[in-house]
Structure 1
Amino acid sequence: MELTKRVLDVQKPSELTGVIIEAWAQGFMVGALIIMAFVTFCNMKRSVLLHKLILIELIFGMFHGTFIFTNPPVYHWYLSVTAIFLNVSWSLHNVIAWLKNKPLLPRWASIFYITTVILVQPYWVLEIFLYFGDKSTLFTYTRPYEALFRDPFWIFTVVNLLYNIRRRYEFGYFELIRVSPRFAILLGAMLLSICFIFIDILAVTHVISTKSLPDGINPFWKIAFVFKCLTDTIILDDFKTALDRLTQYRLQRMGSVLSDGIRGEFLDVEQARKKKAEQASTSIPGLKDVDARDWSKASDCEHLDLESALHMNSMQRGESSGSSG
């Protein structure tokens, strides 16, 4: 069984099923990328290269989602040109993933990462020539390896981020999701993108049945691409900067809780002192009308207060005896 068998002469879908699936997939991809592009533009800092690359990635990815509107002979050359922009967008995504991952990597790993991204570029040039330049059967052997030259960098990025969240920053995943909904969306989009990457691979290699999909039409890579772009848009900065800010926020919350606890203990002590003072004032004759605040230092001057009370009582007795005599 030839797993790589497919039609080389690319034609516009003519069957209703093929038109519906392709139009839906392209509309989904373009609509999502347009929204993310506007969100990115509104939140980006023009002085940051990473933010500019994310915006370019989104714009370049849109063009390949519009060829459904064209007809031959425009269809073929338009498909070819937009596919070039799409491949550039895919490569940009790996460069962006490297920039976001770079602060979390040792120098040798960072150099190896970007070097491998550069080394796979000749493959994409070959793909363009084989798919759109002629009808060479060599394409039937190169097409199933697209994911191998496109996605390992992204999968490594996801795994490395999960590792650093747990080990370097000591965040539990559920704790992180509770503290930061933004990170919850980020992790969810990452996992969904990887799921659709594997579905795309299984569909291209005919491991899973794709009888319901016309030959040459595959919406799975478009869905995976949208979720990968979503991870770039949710957090524009590199992962270390985002995690450092989240860690600082957590420490501030812990400090606030600790401060509130200390303040509560202090208030409890003050209330206990006032209560003790009130009890002491009611137990000594002649001092019932004394303000309880005057007894906050009762432990330091109890003997003075007792002498004053006795003196006042003796004076009262003396006055009463004088008046009777």
Structure 2
Amino acid sequence: MSSTDPVRIALIGAGRIGANHAELVARHVVGASLVAVSDPIGDAAARLAAALGASTSTTDVADVLGSDDVDAVLIAAPARSHTELVVAAAQAGKHVFCEKPMAVTLADADRAIAAADSAGVVLQVGFNRRFAPGFSAARAAIDAGRIGTPQLLRSLTRDPGPWGGDPARVPQWTIFLETLIHDFDTLCFLNPGARPLRVTAVADALIRPDAKASGHLDTAVVTVVFDNGAIATAEASFSALYGYDVRGEVFGSAGMVTAGRGDTTDMVFYGSNGIEIDTSRRDTDLLRSSYIGEFTAFVDAIRSQKPAPVTGQDARTALAIALAAIRSVETGAAVDMNEVTA
């Protein structure tokens, strides 16, 4: 592939987030071309491909993995299928962008990383917060030494409410493996070069207490201690009534940076009911520019033959923190990271 050829991308998984990603790749990512859509359910792939001008649709992922007209795949299938798809795509010689989590066990994470390394393909994982302007600027300030030594960090994710999901359809530990995993990566991103040492977590079903008996958890707080002495917290809730809320903060010896805002514009309304702002209700609205940024970085890595900016190893580190948090909830004790091996 020359540096001027478009990267031909196939989407795997045409659900809500996959459809969003496909639209951005097809219409907003310079140097990319959406050429195929694969989804096993009904006519989902055919409908999305037709809407976005992709030439191929299929219910069988083998069709895109075996196609000479596909350079890379964007995996947005259910989380528990990610590892097998990463391995299959890499073995087929396709570059891989995989939504988080890349895996739900460390053994599977290692398999995915090894497959990409063996095939010599780019593997990038979808930790989109790194590409949000505020978070990117915060990291630049940290790299420049403007806050001194990081001492206290915070990252949070609050999904918009009221939460109306069915707890029975939410896989156990989703709050750690699919929600807070973003925050675990953010804490590592905003504390560059530091290694997580110890994790303590508490979690409960505060939104749906009736579902706790079946293992459903919808609210959590995690503390992570790093080897540079920094103490970090990550928190999540499935129901923020005021909108989608994603924020980060790093306090250091010389200053502090914050990132993340939920408002959709800088307009503030002052009226008889008080002060009002419009807030984002969906991740695809709040993080739209972040998604475009991460897909653009993926395409640039392929065309320039450089490593992805968010690697499989980054995904493994975030997963290890998530697994430590799960063990902490199960045991009620702090968990040393060197104890997390599965």
Q: Could you state the TM-score of these two structures normalised by the residue count of structure 1? A: 0.24
* Higher strand residue share: 2
Structure of higher CA gyration radius: 1
* Greater share of residues in helix: 1
Q: What TM-score do the two structures reach when normalised by structure 2?
A: 0.23
